[in-house]
Amino acid sequence: MKQFTIAEKISCTGIGLHSGAPVHLSLHPARANSGIVFVRTDGGREVEIPARPDWLSSTNFATSLGRGASTVGTVEHLLAALYGLGVDNVRIEVDGPEVPIMDGSSASFVFLLRLAGLFEQQAERRVFRVRRPIEIRDGERWIRVEPSRSFRVSYDVDYPHPAIQKQSIQDLEIDAGTFEREICRARTFGFLREVEGLWKAGLARGGSLDNTVVMDDQRILNREGVRWSDEFVRHKVLDLLGDLALLGTRVQGHIRVNRGGHALHQQLVAALAENSVSSVSGSLSRLTRFPETASAAG
């Protein structure tokens, strides 16, 4: 398959989920093989931050990228939209510390990308074909990738909350159609009891019932409820796709996850990137183990 960029510039405004800061975001077409690059434009000079594993700065409650003192946080929902629709190359200009949260899902970004249109480029798309399994474990948490003829995801979550409990998606083949129908509208979520701690840590300042599914100890507080009965595991799949976008290649394999989060996702990304090669196809052949670090509920 060929690489894709967007056909024309498209922009939006919003606020950051954790910073609460207003932000303007612009997506620009980019040359083939340039990848996805974030650009901070608000510091008096432009700072380019490639969406690649080497520039990962944090997986604490979101996926953040950084270059020196310049960072861009909560990039995963936009990256999921790009990965889900098959956009390989784009320049993302942002004038604040976070990508705007919009409604807490990827739906607004999918709308913007469809509005801009996709442009097929001449360069061949790189594909990482998984030849042998790899598994990363941390207690009951684990993530595994194994060979498959297409890109598939299986994901399980288990939260001790009446609104979530055990939810599962099994053997979902991901393409642009299934991403738009089944995944992109799933929103981020969190628990009311954690809000005070997040505020003390300087996080979740832009969070609200307009962009987060919020739960107290017994129920969902959003008046409209959930978009699917299993919206929580669907959002985990969305986060996984956004984190996989940092590879800069498409994955041909079946990824299975149990009780995952951004940190676990990025450990797999690091293992895949380490085994990647510069040719069109790569293969994976070794077992890797990493400790899990903190990650957000949604």
Indicate which CATH number applies to the domain containing 145: 3.30.1700.10
> Which residues, given as ranges, of the chain have pLDDT below 50?
277-297
Q: Clarify whether residues 152 and 85 are in a common domain.
A: no
Q: Clarify whether residues 61 and 140 are in a common domain.
A: no
- Say what the pTM is: 0.92
Q: Clarify whether residues 120 and 139 are in a common domain.
A: no
83 inside domain: yes
Amino acid 288: pLDDT: 35
Catalytically annotated residue among 28, 235, 262, 265: 262
Amino acid 195: pLDDT: 83
Q: Clarify whether residues 268 and 185 are in a common domain.
A: yes
Tokens of 244: 């996989």
260 inside domain: yes
Among residues 103, 124, 145, the one where a domain terminates is 124
Instruction: Give the domain extent around 160.
Output: 127-282
For the segment 158-186, what is each residue's pLDDT rounded down to a tens digit?
Answer: 999 999 999 999 999 999 999 999 999 99
Amino acid 74: pLDDT: 97
Task: Report the domain count for the chain.
Answer: 2
Q: Clarify whether residues 206 and 217 are in a common domain.
A: yes
Q: Clarify whether residues 93 and 7 are in a common domain.
A: yes
Backbone angles phi, psi at 85, to 5 degrees: -90, -10
Find all residues with CB under 8 Å of 225, minimum gap 6, and list them: none
Find all residues with CB under 8 Å of 29, minimum gap 6, and list them: 5, 6, 7, 8, 9, 89, 90, 91, 119
**Pair type for strands 281-282 and 127-129:** parallel
172 inside domain: yes
Q: Clarify whether residues 102 and 132 are in a common domain.
A: no
292 inside domain: no
How far apart are the C-alpha atoms of 19 and 83, rounded to whole Å? 25
Q: Clarify whether residues 116 and 133 are in a common domain.
A: no
In the annotation, is 28 catalytic?
no
Question: Helix 231-244 and helix 262-275: axis angle, to 10°?
Answer: 30
Q: Clarify whether residues 82 and 134 are in a common domain.
A: no
Contact 75, 22 (CB under 8 A): no
Q: Clarify whether residues 72 and 201 are in a common domain.
A: no
Q: Clarify whether residues 106 and 138 are in a common domain.
A: no
Amino acid 298: pLDDT: 58
The long-range contacts involving 228-233, CB below 8 angstroms and separated by at least 24 positions, are 228/186, 230/167, 230/168, 230/169, 231/186, 231/187, 231/189, 232/157, 232/159, 232/164, 232/167, 232/186, 232/189, 232/298, 233/155, 233/156, 233/157, 233/167, 233/168, 233/169
Q: Clarify whether residues 271 and 135 are in a common domain.
A: yes
